[in-house]
Amino acid sequence: MPPLLQQRRWWILAMLFCVTMINFIDRQTLSVTAPILREVFSLTNTHYGIIVAAFQMGMLFGEFPMGWLMDRRGARFGLTFAVMWWSLANALHAVASSLFHFSFFRFWLGTGECGNFSGGNKVVAQWFPVRERAFAVGIFNSASMIGSGIAPFLIVPLMHHYGWRVAFLVPSLLGMVWAAVWWVFFRTPEEHTGLTEAEAAHIRDGATGPEGPKPSNRQLLRLRQTWGVMLCRLLVGPVVQFYIYWMPEYLYRARGFTLTEIAFFAWVPFLFGDLGSIGGGWASGFLIQRGYSVRAARILTMGAGATLCFLSLAVVLVKTVPVALIAICCVLLGHTALSANMFASVSDLFPKSAVARVTGLTGIAGGLSGMLFPLLTGQLVDKISYVPVFALASLMPAAGLIALVAFAGDFRQVTVPEER
C-alpha cells in the first residue's frame, strides 16, 4: 500500500466531508437566522414549522430522483448537479420576503440536498471495503455536525455586519466552488489513473466485484431489507433534524440565550455529534476486525447509540442549562453513532448498483417523517410545551433500530428476486 496521504480513497472521502459540511451550513443558516426572521416577518412557531416541513417535503420528493440520478449517471455528474441545484436554491433565500417565499425555497433546497447522502453512500460503496465503510460513512457524516457547529460562527457575524440576506449567499458560493472541483477531479476506482494496484485490491477486499446488473425499483421494493432500512430512517431521521432546526430556537426562547451565546455554546453538542459519528463507525469496524459478525457489530454500536438518545427527555426536565447541554451532547453522540451504521448497513445489504437508490428510498421515508415532525413540533410547542417533543425524540431511535434488526436478517448482501 502507498503511504496514507497517497491513498486516493481518503482524498475522495475528504471531498465528501467538505460537501457534507457545506450542506449542513446551508441547512443551519435558516435556524441561526430564525430569531431575526421571525421578528421581521412575524412568524409563529407554527409558521416556522411549516418552513422546516417544506424543506423536508423537498427531501421527500427529491430523494428517489437523486438516487436514480446517482445510479444512472454516476456520482461525478450526480453530485455536481445536486450541489449546484441546492446552492442556487439557498442563494435565492436572500430575496425571500414572506412565508410562501421561504417555504418555496426551502422545498427547492430539500430536492437537491438529499443527493448528498445517496451520492456519498454510493461513493463509499465504490471506494471502500466492507470493514471500512461504517468508518468512512461516519467521517463524512460527522461533517454534518461540524457544518452545523460552524454555521453560527459564520452566519452570526455575516448577519450582524451585512444583514441576514448575505448570510444565505456566502454558503451558496462555497457549494458552487466545491461542485467545480468535484467535476474536475472525481473518478470511480475503475477510471482513476492514479490508483495503485495495491489500493485497488484493498478496496475490492470482501466485495463482490463490479457493480453488475442494476435491479429494478420493483425488485428492490419486494425485499424486506429495503423496508427495514426505510423504517429505520423514518424513525431515526427526524430526531437530528429536530436538534438542528429547533435547538437555537429552544435555547433562545426556553433557556434565555442571546444570539451571541448561541454562537458560542451551540457548537458544543455538534462536536459530540462528530465524535459519535466517527466513533460509531470506528467501533463497528473494530468489532468486525475482532471477529464479530457484521450483524453483531452493527447492532451493538447502534444499540449503544439508541440508549444515549433516551436522554432527550432529560433536556427539558433538568433545571440547569449546563446539565441540559450535557444531555443534548449525549443525544447527538448516540444519534450519530447510530446513523453512521444505519447508512453503512445499506451498502452491507445491497449491491453497489442499487446503493444510491435504496439510500434515496430511505430518504423518502425520512423525508415523510421529517416533514410531519416539524409540523407536529410547532403545534405542540405553541399549544403545550417542548416536553412531548423531546419525549418523542427519546424513543424514536430505539424504535428505528428494532425495525432494522427485525427486517435486515443477517446483514449480508441480498439476493435480488427475479422479475415475474
Task: Render pLDDT for 99-123 as a digit per residue (tens, 0 to 9).
Answer: 899 999 999 999 999 889 888 888 9
Domain count, the chain: 1
User: What pLDDT digit, counting tens, does each position of 146-205 carry?
Assistant: 887 788 888 888 888 888 889 899 989 999 999 999 999 998 888 887 888 888 888 877
Task: Please compute the mean of the pLDDT values over residues 330-339 and round it to a whole number.
Answer: 92
Query: How far is the CA of 146 from the CAs of 4, 5, 185, in angstroms?
Result: 23, 22, 24
Measured between alpha carbons, how far is 232 from 366 in angstroms, rounded to an integer?
9
Residue 211 lies in a domain: yes
In a domain, 415, yes or no: no
Report the C-alpha gap between 249 and 87 in whole angstroms: 24
- Whether 234 maps to a domain, the answer reads yes
Distance of CA 177 to the CA centre of its chain: 21
Determine, yes or no, domain membership for 250: yes
Residue 2 forms part of a structural domain? no
Three-class SS of residue 364? helix
Q: To which H or E segment does residue 183 belong?
A: helix 164-185
| Average pLDDT for 71-91 | 92
Q: Is residue 413 part of a domain?
A: no
Nearest to 112 by CA among 144, 146, 81: 81
Which CATH number does the domain housing residue 163 bear?
A: 1.20.1250.20
**Burial degree of 219 (CB within 10 A; 0-12, 13-18, 19+):** middle
Is residue 298 assigned to a domain?
yes
Q: Tell me the three cell numbers of residue 332.
A: 447527538
**What does the pLDDT look like over 221-271, one tens digit per residue?**
888 899 999 999 999 988 888 887 778 778 877 777 776 777 677 778 878
pTM as predicted: 0.70
Residues 6+ apart with CB under 8 A from 275: 142, 333
Cite the DSSP H helix spans in 7-129: 8-41, 45-73, 75-92, 99-113, 115-127
Flag whether 296 is in a domain. yes
CA distance 283 to 275: 11
Give the residue numbers spanning the domain of 214: 8-186+193-408
Looking at residue 305, its amino acid is G
Give phi and psi for 310, each to the nearest 5: -60, -20
